[in-house]
A = this chain, B = another copy of it.
Amino acid sequence: MSETSTLIAADDPVLGTDFATEMLRQMRAMDSYGTYDTYTPAKILEPFILTKAMKREIPIIGDPDEITIARVKAFYNAIAALIEKECKLMAVPMLNLTHEGFGRAIITVGKLVVADRTLRDVHRFGFESLSKMKDEADKLLSVALTLIGEHAAVAGL
């Protein structure tokens, strides 16, 4: 396997953001065998990128494998870590999937649900580009922080 990525440029500015740093931390935490030791950051995050053409080649119906599910977890773990960093309160992610790849991802802070996503077709989980992935993360983060600001009492429970 090549150690450079064709889907993410090595100098992609997104790689320098807090989000990418946290995503890399999450991915490395799951890498029990040190496979990523020789990988560039772009290469480690590459499996999250699924262009339209790539998506078209995956059957519409399919069961997500363990690696895909681990990737979904890494994504929501990273969001939770970023929320925690901003609001200084513990953020707990929770992922619930049927084995057909349908389900729900939530993040709670105290008694407040700060992120809530219905998941579908998890076997085709991925983003069109790294910047699209960061957009999604930014959206989740900003909604979460607004909710925490508005309902600080519940988030502090």
Q: Which positions in A face B, CB cutoff 8 Å?
A: 94-96, 104, 106, 108, 110-114, 116, 147, 151, 153-154
Say how far A148's CB is from chain B's closest CB, in angstroms: 11
Say how far A133's CB is from chain B's closest CB, in angstroms: 24
- Complex alpha-carbon distance, A96 and B151, angstroms: 26
Say how far A89's CB is from chain B's closest CB, in angstroms: 13
Of all A-B residue pairs in the complex, the 9 with the closest CB atoms, nearest first, are A111-B113, A154-B154, A151-B154, A94-B96, A108-B113, A96-B96, A111-B112, A113-B113, A112-B154
- Closest-by-CB residue of B relative to A97 is B96
- With A94-B106, A111-B112, A111-B147 known, 11 other A-B pairs at CB within 8 A are A94-B94, A96-B96, A108-B113, A108-B116, A110-B113, A111-B151, A112-B112, A112-B113, A112-B154, A113-B113, A151-B154
- Complex alpha-carbon distance, A93 and B118, angstroms: 14
- Complex alpha-carbon distance, A147 and B94, angstroms: 21
- Complex alpha-carbon distance, A113 and B20, angstroms: 30
Identify A94's interface contact among B104, B112, B153, CB under 8 A. Answer: B104
Selected A-B contacts with CB under 8 Å, 25 pairs: A94-B94, A94-B96, A94-B104, A94-B106, A95-B96, A96-B96, A106-B108, A108-B113, A108-B116, A110-B113, A111-B112, A111-B113, A111-B114, A111-B116, A111-B147, A111-B151, A111-B154, A112-B112, A112-B113, A112-B154, A113-B113, A151-B151, A151-B153, A151-B154, A154-B154
